[in-house]
Amino acid sequence: MAIIVAVDESDRATRILTVGEDLARAYDDELVVVHVTPEDIVESRRESFDEYYRDDAVEDAATVARTATEGVVSAETDVEIVGRVGVVVSELLEEATERDARYLVIGGRKRSPTGKALFGSTTQSILLNAELPVVSVIGIEK
C-alpha cells in the first residue's frame, strides 16, 4: 500500500510531507508525493512557449513534488515522485485508487464559511469524494 501526499509550491508542503512520512513509516508503506498541475496552467504555458507538451507539464509537476521533498523527507524513506496534469481532485483520487492507498494526506487553508461558499474548496471536494481515509493538515500557515 501507499501513503499519497499532495503538495503544491507553498510553505505548507513541509508539514504535509512530515505527516505523510510519519504515516508511511508507521504502516511501512511507500510514500508517494504528488503534484497536480491544473489544465488551465498547462494551457497558459503552451501559449507562452512554442513547444510545451503534456510530457513537459507532467515533468514540471514532478519537479514541484521533488523540490518539496528536498530536505524534508528522510533519505531512508521509500518515496516515489509523481507529476500529473488535470483536475486536481480527480487526479489525486485516481492516483490513490490506482495505488490502493491507505491514506491521502492533503493540506487545507483556514477559510471562513463565506470564503468556502464563494470560492469552493479542493480540500472539501476531496473529503466528500474520497473512498479512502483523508488526513487534512490545516492551520499550518504562518
Give the least confident one: 78-87, 97-106, 122-131. Answer: 122-131
Cα separation, 90 vs 79, whole angstroms:
22
User: What architecture does CATH give domain 2-137?
Assistant: 3-Layer(aba) Sandwich (3.40)
Q: Domain spans of the chain? A: 2-137
- Whether the predicted pLDDT of 60 surpasses 50: yes
Q: Reduced to 3 states, what is the DSSP secondary structure of residue 84?
A: strand
Residue 117 scores a pLDDT above 80: no
Closest CA to 19 of 138, 111, 125, 127: 138
d(CA 87, CA 94): 10
Model confidence at 103, in pLDDT bands (50, 70, 90)? very high
Residue 139 confidence (pLDDT): 60
Read off the amino acid at residue 3: I
- Is residue 13 helix, strand or coil? helix
Average pLDDT over residues 102-107: 96
